Amino acid sequence: MKNIRNLLFDLDGTLVDSSATIGASIDFALDKLGVSVVGHSPITSLIGMPLLDIFRHQFEMTDEQAEFAISHYRQHYDQLAQAGSRVYDSIHQVLAILRGEGYRLFIATVKPTAIAEKVLTDLELRSYFDGIAGASMGSERRDKASIIAHALKTFELDPSQCLMIGDRDQDIFGARKNGMPCIAVTYGFGSRAELDSAGPHHVVEHSEEIVSFLLNPTMAK
- The answer for residues whose C-beta is within 8 angstroms of residue 187's C-beta and 6 or more apart is 88, 167, 205, 206, 207
Query: Phi-psi region for residue 158, left (φ > 0), alpha (ψ -120 to 50) or beta?
Result: beta
Catalytic member of 10, 167, 169, 171:
10
Cβ(154)–Cβ(178) under 8 Å?
no
- The answer for residues whose C-beta is within 8 angstroms of residue 146's C-beta and 6 or more apart is none
Q: Residue 122 catalytic?
A: no
Q: How far apart are CA 90 and CA 100, in angstroms?
A: 15
Q: How far is CA 104 from the centre of its chain?
A: 17
Dihedral (CA of 198, 201, 205, 207) sign = negative
Residues marked as catalytic: 10
